[in-house]
Amino acid sequence: MIVAIEMFTAFFIAMSAPFYMVYATKVIALSEVQWGLLMFMSGLLGIMVVFPMGSVVDRIGPKKMILLGIVMVPFFIFGFRYANGFYAVAVVLCGIVLCNNIMIPAFSTLIANTVPRNRRGRLYSIIGERGISINFGNFWGGGFLIFQPAALGALTGGYIYKMNPAYPWMITSVALLISMILVYLFVHEPEEAQK
């Protein structure tokens, strides 16, 4: 079920991912230098929180952390279309990075705990290792199964962005709320981690 949720989510994340910079520079009117500074700031935040978030996943458990990240991230994504300047975009992107650093180690842990060790390499090559991850650049679709819906999502996103530049983020936000419900209902932690 994790793979199906990841494929569903990859389609919708890729719908908006390639257009963050376009929207930020064309609609919000940020300069290219400001966008570069935002990438630096959000990347620095990601580095600062990656180890603490991994530790929290070990203490709280991966499913709870996935749910925490996936509950918060739709609001940041939806908020991007209302961001009206550098600081508002900084809050949105840093919020997305924080959610990613909550979800990525949680998904990796959940998959590692669920899949026997002798099959993990094959599974990661098929789906990628990141789980659900929000991108605000060119969407890298993970493994073989994730790349296909992501590529189709990026193509679809171009048409949707052309209809209305705000639509990709609205649609992605709703899809992530649906993903959150799917994770809550269908993703279960094993009682004992696979060896």
Categorize the per-residue pLDDT at 142 as very low, low, confident or very high, splitting at 50, 70 and 90: low
Query: What is the total count of domains within the chain?
Result: 1
Nearest to 187 by CA among 51, 70, 96: 70
**Structural domain includes residue 20:** yes
pLDDT digits (tens, 9 = 90+) for 167-195: 999 999 999 999 999 999 998 887 776 56
Please, which residues have CB within 8 angstroms of residue 71's CB and are 6 or more apart in sequence?
Answer: 180
For residue 119, the tally of other CB atoms under 10 A from its CB is 10
Cβ atoms of 168 and 161 within 8 Å: the answer is: yes
> Considering the entire predicted model, what is its pTM?
0.87
**Structural domain includes residue 66:** yes
**Structural domain includes residue 193:** no
**Structural domain includes residue 191:** no
**Structural domain includes residue 194:** no
**Structural domain includes residue 110:** yes
**Structural domain includes residue 7:** yes
CATH code, 90: 1.20.1250.20
Give the structural domain span for 102: 2-186
Please, which residues have CB within 8 angstroms of residue 37's CB and are 6 or more apart in sequence?
Answer: none
**Structural domain includes residue 16:** yes
**148 or 135, which is more confident:** 148
